[in-house]
Chain A
Amino acid sequence: MSGRLPDSPTQIFDPKKPVKIHFRGRSITAFEGDTVASALLAAGVDTFSRSFKYHRRRAPACLSGQCSRCTMNVDGRMHIKTCQTPVREGMVVEPQGPIAFDPAGAADAFSWAMPTGFYYKMFYKPQWFWKLVKEVIRAMPGNMAKVKALPAKAHFDSINLSPDLLVIGGGLAGMEAAITAADAGVRVVIVEADPQLGGFEAFQAEAGFRRTQASISRLAAFPNITLLTGTRVTAIYPDGLAVCMQESPSQSAQDCVERSYLVRAGATVIATGAGSMPMVFAHNDRPGIILPEAAQRMVHLWGIKPKGRVLLAGGDDHIGEVALALYKQGVDVVGVVDFREAGLRKDLQSALADHGIPVWSSYTLTDTRGRRRVTSATVTSIDGLQSKRVRCDTIVASSGRYPRHKLLGQIGTRMLYDAALNFYLPEQLPANYEAAGRLLGLEDPNAIMRQGAHAAINALKHLGVDTNTAKVAAVEPADEAPMPVRLQPVIEDVQLKSKTFVCYCHDVSAKNIEQAIDEGFDKIETCKRYTTATQGACQGGMCEANFAHLLARKRPALSARVLPTTRPPVTSMSLGAMAVGYHDHPQVSPLYHTQLAHGGNSLRMGSWIRMVDFGDHEAESLAVHSTAGICDVSMFGKFRVFGPDAEKLLNRIMTRNIEKLNGNSTFYYTACNEEGVLVDDGMALKMGEHDYFVTTTAARAAVTEEWLARWCREENWQVNVVNVTDTKAGISLAGPMAREILSKLTEADISGEALPFQKWMHMEVAGVKAIVSRVGFVGELNYELFCPASQGPYLWDAIMAAGKPLGLVPFGIECLNICRLEKGHVLPGIDTDSFTNLFEASMGWALDRNKTETVGKAMLDLTTHQAIKERVIAFSIEGRSPVTEGALVVDGTQQLGRVTSIIYSPLLKKTIGFALVAPHDNWVEGGTVTFWYDSGREAQASFAKPPFYDPKGQRIRM
């Protein structure tokens, strides 16, 4: 096998199973279990990306999904953290932008010209100069993903889970919490970001590995634990929803590329652990400078030796342990730098000395050199007096641990800085959340396990599970104290330079931050915004602790070290994965397919797909007037309102008085909101004693149920509302031949005497039971039929078959529009807007002034004493007109209103319509209406009094 360490029990790759991936045109052999980053590191790849501002070479720092330096394009997917992405045969990995030779790398030499906020202070005079500069700025950033046309729609999916307990983090604490809870019988979901369980312990050489394996095998025994590895909890939202994202859940690129698990748990244990803080020194970003966990993962998980001579630096004993472990794996360790005066624990010191590894206590790293990767480091005593250069090819450096606290922030728990520990600890968590493990600063594995179990017991108590059972009660609460983390001493002017990076994502240096503070940006929020630190791809995951420390150094008054606000997501989620689960469902009528078969042209309108026409809406309208037409009205809202108090409710909603509706009668009603604004209209049919069938406009169908409920909420009325919108098909049959057509299909007496205008009856039409009423919307003899939705298509076909010999044609809403405008029907929401009240809609006649409880009546009463602000007027133009809806109605410079409906009536040979306008002297018989449209063209129309057709209404009463 190629260049890997000898097999070890801790490794997670399988050297017997090679996998080929493609990187920059060459083929690289990896092994099953590798991540893209581990494969590339093993293949000796030094540079993974170029940095944002200075285009400096960057390579993975953490190998644990925290930093953004390893991000590349993988199989066409942008900004993929290669350290978290398992390899797959044939995978194509490409850097985002040039990495070997990057001309923009010249920016690195000009960092002096780019102090913090330099772009705020220049380029703006003259204005044309800025227009040029901004295009240059846009093209500058490093590691920019390219948006390319996708060959095929990528597949994402989503799964909902609702366990009793969600455990976030599959380390020792998390596993122990899951086991404890599962043992008590509850259903547990445990989520781990890495492909393997174990967390921190998984890469702590063999001792850690054994501990991990013990927990893993105990965990595996529980069928009530669902394990999600390679899955990150990206957010916990205020309603308790935890969103977990799993990259490439299947082995084939064509399958799902990212899956979300939407977890709603009864309780949650957060055991996300802690990560290492990068050390602050000059040129601390070179490839080869990595965090301890990266070195440990390389060696223990993937058998990769960190390149060449390795220097370690830190301020805790852990760095000494890592040095020893690396040495044992055959790594060339050239020294350990410890910035503490006391130095490493004695046993570590002597062990290192035994192997001839020098330890420099009270020393720190101050600078590095190297071009493609680090070649040497400057090590300086913390008093700044002595320094030396150490040749090295890899630096493993960290200034201590930092809790991965971001999910805590999202559930509203603040992290407070503990000066004694130099660690952030959470305030009280919400009731159904528990925290555990290294997240709380614990170090001892036994303490971590005890504390994980304790967290589970608290969660079980919250779930109402009896925790006094013997097994569970045996666990003692952990009383271990967090381990203190030594604050990194900072040597002014030696360490804090323009290339001492704090925020790697945006190339923000310690000097940048100091300058911002000097300029007055000394609050963490303003400083963050001004320097752009913590705002990059890692969202502060790597830098916020150092950022807060630096701020606190300069402004001790702010020493509370508030961290920047944490917001979802913790790590990025793809738009594709986020969009799963949202579906746009347009509604179609039960007659949709039937109408398509008859040549209907459909169009999405709001939530409905409706038929615009069947080829020629003008011909359709002429047919309606001369023979007959049939139209789908299934999209009307349809409600049955019944019960002893049905009248009370309907009278509250309708402006007309429902009690005036006699048996077998129907009437047209209008409805207003509290402000008297016209919001709805429709037909009401009296079906029986306290029993009504009510239609609404299509737009109001979805809200009417709620609207009715709202207006009887505080009443003790006995009234039932049933929404039958989707259960009934509606067919409008109109025209002089309508009765003849209908009579062919029914035995019922439908003569003008038996079923006159504004009456209805139950009847069988073509064997289908239907409610048939006489309405007047289109201005001709007009039947509206409502039947069970499932029988709608049959009924439509039967009517068409019976009517075709008599000239029956199907018609769409354009024709409906012509007919209703000929009759002068105002449509709420089309001809009126959200301010137009009943009077202004010219429908004051529909208000029963004797009723007191009508919604909107009080406001309408008030406004009767006021001049109206606007009104709906009708107009007509001889012949066809180019004016369209939206044209302005003007009087010179004065803007009076707009055209709301306009259409050409082939019957009248006129263009007719409505406008919503302010009061004006011209709105009288013979007055002129002036339009201003299409960037200044003018046209005129005559004010008109509708209806334009059959003003006496004889045809609807035929």
Chain B
Amino acid sequence: MATTKKVLQYKEPEKHYDVVIVGGGLHGLATAYYLAKYHGVKRIAVLERRYIGSGGSGRNTEMVRSNKRAHETLPFYKDSLAMWDDLSAELDWNLMVQKKGIIALAHSDGELASMRMQSDSQRRAGIKIDMLDNQQIKKMVPSLDVSDQTALPVLGAQFHPEGGTVHHDAAVWGFAKSAARCGVDICVGIEVVGFNVEGSKVTGVQTNIGDINANKVHVAVGGYSSEIARMLGVKFPVVTMPMQVMTTNIMAPFLNYYVASPRLHWYTQQTLKGDLILGGQLDPFSSWNSYTTWEECSERVATILEYFPDLAHGRVVRSWSGLCDCTGDSAPVMGPSGIDGLSLDIAWGYYGFKATPACGKYSAEYIATNKVPENIKAFSLDRFFNRQRVREVIL
């Protein structure tokens, strides 16, 4: 065998750390990596109760993009998308970045208008974006039905050439490997059950194996942020809802782009392996279970088949779901929590994967400097209390 150099290395936690990061998903691991590598923080622990990348990090649909709506957040997403390009080399691990391009279909004049608005906002932020007519769409995705015979005929699309996919597990392991090599202690099987707060300052966390002291604590727990809120005795403006996704048997390459219909809540892409990923809609209820349901899966498949009729004989082999902790304005919460030393990187809904590098970088910067970086100011927790919400949602 060539090498058996360890890729994943776990440690038993020590009693005291400079920074404890709660949550061993992508955001937590990335934050640990940037803290150790660029801010010289020595004693960092990442605490994960299951296995690394077990939450949303390992359940998402691998989409990376910066075609968001609210113009104040665009520099952040633009930065994040650009960072993916160099990460494979930096982490010495192939993240399988594919900037294959994302086609978002419009089915009404209103949607076209909204896409024009978004596109122009994005262009002003320096993000490449194009509007496509049906002929162009058909040329790029020959198997897509752009005729007027579909339920909601395609009227055009927005094309985001720099969007695409990154292998989600590769990203988890890449950050974990590099973080560990920078001296970060990654501790699995450690469940945080409470926080120690003295006065208005956090002093550590309580875990299933006892207290761990920390000068600073960073929360990056994905769908479980409301559990953290309960431990802290506060309320975060988040609702956790599952999103279901399916994958199919492998097919010869026929779909070179990520195709999405925001109106009908579906998206699909063909992975390197050849299977299709199908998904796109949040469950209408709050839940912390990772079940899938027939209603959602069949509706999703039906709405996709409407536009890819030749896939009728494709076969679904697996379905799964991930938890999305959503805010009312479809933007996350990053930065101060209101408790000294406790910082947040939560409420990433269904759009957290693409933001990983920037989240890691800016969370690390905030933890290290105590100053909120410009690019994440829009994501403050305060915005919910002074009506400064991010204008991300459309309707």
**Which residues of A pack against B, CB within 8 Å?**
52, 76-79, 115, 117, 119-125, 127, 130, 134, 137-139, 141, 143-150, 153-154, 156, 235, 237-239, 241, 243, 257, 262, 511, 515, 518-521, 523, 525-526, 529-530, 535, 537, 539, 567-569, 572-576, 578-582, 584, 586, 604-606, 829-830, 833-835, 863, 866, 869, 884-888, 893, 895, 898, 932-936
Asked whether A238 lies within 8 Å of B289 as measured between CB atoms, the reply is: yes
| B375 lies within 8 A of chain A by Cβ | no
What CA separation (Å) do A87 and B170 show in the bound complex?
43
Chain B CB within 10 Å — which of A122, A567, A863 has the most?
A: A567
Partner among A137, A568, A835, A869 whose Cβ is within 8 Å of the Cβ of B319: A568
Shortest beta-carbon contacts, A-B, top 6: A520-B8, A885-B113, A576-B312, A886-B116, A886-B113, A582-B302
With both beta carbons as reference points, the residue of chain A lying nearest to B251 in the complex is identified as A145
Also in contact, A833 and B301, with CB within 8 A (given A115-B2, A604-B153, A936-B123): no
Asked whether B117 lies within 8 Å of A153 as measured between CB atoms, the reply is: no
Instruction: Tell me the number of A-to-B contacts counted with CB atoms below 8 Å.
Output: 254
What CA separation (Å) do A160 and B58 show in the bound complex?
35
What CA separation (Å) do A138 and B387 show in the bound complex?
48
Question: Can you list 29 residue pairs at the A/B interface with Cβ under 8 Å?
Answer: A52-B250, A119-B94, A123-B94, A124-B88, A144-B252, A150-B310, A154-B312, A156-B312, A237-B292, A241-B294, A511-B1, A520-B6, A526-B52, A529-B58, A569-B318, A572-B317, A573-B315, A574-B313, A575-B301, A575-B305, A578-B302, A580-B298, A582-B299, A582-B301, A884-B116, A885-B116, A887-B117, A888-B117, A888-B120
Also in contact, A130 and B88, with CB within 8 A (given A238-B291, A537-B317): yes
What CA separation (Å) do A935 and B7 show in the bound complex?
46
Q: Which A residues lie within 8 Å of B314 (CB)?
A: 78, 145, 147, 574-575
Q: Which A residues lie within 8 Å of B318 (CB)?
A: 535, 539, 567-569
**Which residues of B pack against A, CB within 8 Å?**
1-2, 4-10, 50-54, 58, 71, 85, 88-89, 93-98, 107-110, 112-121, 123-124, 143, 151-153, 169-170, 173-174, 188, 248-254, 272-274, 289, 291-294, 297-299, 301-306, 309-320, 329, 387-389, 391, 393-395
Also in contact, A835 and B294, with CB within 8 A (given A530-B173, A567-B320, A575-B304): no
Q: In whole Å, how far is A862's beta carbon from the nearest beta carbon of chain B?
A: 9
Q: In whole Å, how far is B378's beta carbon from the nearest beta carbon of chain A?
A: 13
With both beta carbons as reference points, the residue of chain A lying nearest to B151 in the complex is identified as A584
Asked whether A530 lies within 8 Å of B143 as measured between CB atoms, the reply is: no
Q: Which A residues lie within 8 Å of B54 (CB)?
A: 525
What CA separation (Å) do A130 and B249 show in the bound complex?
25
Q: Which A residues lie within 8 Å of B151 (CB)?
A: 584, 586, 604
With both beta carbons as reference points, the residue of chain B lying nearest to A518 in the complex is identified as B4
Asked whether B254 lies within 8 Å of A869 as measured between CB atoms, the reply is: no
Q: Which B residues lie within 8 Å of A143 (CB)?
A: 250
Partner among B109, B113, B253 whose Cβ is within 8 Å of the Cβ of A138: B253
What CA separation (Å) do A186 and B174 show in the bound complex?
57
Partner among B52, B291, B320 whose Cβ is within 8 Å of the Cβ of A237: B291
Partner among A121, A153, A525, A575 whose Cβ is within 8 Å of the Cβ of B248: A575
Asked whether A137 lies within 8 Å of B272 as measured between CB atoms, the reply is: yes
What CA separation (Å) do A685 and B67 show in the bound complex?
45
Asked whether A115 lies within 8 Å of B96 as measured between CB atoms, the reply is: no
Q: In the complex, given contacts A537-B250, A572-B316, A575-B301, what are 16 additional A-B residue pairs having Cβ atoms less than 8 angstroms apart?
A: A79-B249, A130-B96, A144-B250, A243-B294, A520-B6, A521-B8, A539-B317, A572-B317, A573-B316, A579-B301, A579-B312, A582-B302, A606-B108, A833-B393, A869-B388, A888-B124
Q: In whole Å, how far is B314's beta carbon from the nearest beta carbon of chain A?
A: 5
With both beta carbons as reference points, the residue of chain A lying nearest to B395 in the complex is identified as A834
What CA separation (Å) do A529 and B7 show in the bound complex?
14
With both beta carbons as reference points, the residue of chain A lying nearest to B386 in the complex is identified as A866
Asked whether A886 lies within 8 Å of B272 as measured between CB atoms, the reply is: no
Chain A CB within 10 Å — which of B5, B95, B249 has the most?
A: B249
What CA separation (Å) do A147 and B249 show in the bound complex?
12
What CA separation (Å) do A667 and B252 show in the bound complex?
62
Partner among A124, A569, A573, A833 whose Cβ is within 8 Å of the Cβ of B94: A124
What CA separation (Å) do A844 and B291 show in the bound complex?
45
Asked whether A134 lies within 8 Å of B294 as measured between CB atoms, the reply is: no
Partner among A134, A519, A579 whose Cβ is within 8 Å of the Cβ of B6: A519
Q: Which B residues lie within 8 Å of A518 (CB)?
A: 4, 6
Q: Which B residues lie within 8 Å of A574 (CB)?
A: 312-316
Q: Which A residues lie within 8 Å of B113 (CB)?
A: 884-886
What CA separation (Å) do A463 and B75 show in the bound complex?
60
With both beta carbons as reference points, the residue of chain A lying nearest to B10 in the complex is identified as A520
Q: Which B residues lie within 8 Å of A605 (CB)?
A: 108
With both beta carbons as reference points, the residue of chain B lying nearest to A529 in the complex is identified as B169
Asked whether B313 lies within 8 Å of A76 as measured between CB atoms, the reply is: yes
What CA separation (Å) do A40 and B199 show in the bound complex?
77
Q: In whole Å, how far is A332's beta carbon from the nearest beta carbon of chain B?
A: 37
Q: Which B residues lie within 8 Å of A567 (CB)?
A: 292, 318-320
Also in contact, A519 and B251, with CB within 8 A (given A573-B316, A935-B120): no
Q: In whole Å, how far is A479's beta carbon from the nearest beta carbon of chain B?
A: 35
Q: In whole Å, how far is B135's beta carbon from the nearest beta carbon of chain A?
A: 18
Partner among A156, A521, A578 whose Cβ is within 8 Å of the Cβ of B297: A578
With both beta carbons as reference points, the residue of chain B lying nearest to A498 in the complex is identified as B1
With both beta carbons as reference points, the residue of chain B lying nearest to A516 in the complex is identified as B7
What CA separation (Å) do A151 and B352 show in the bound complex?
41
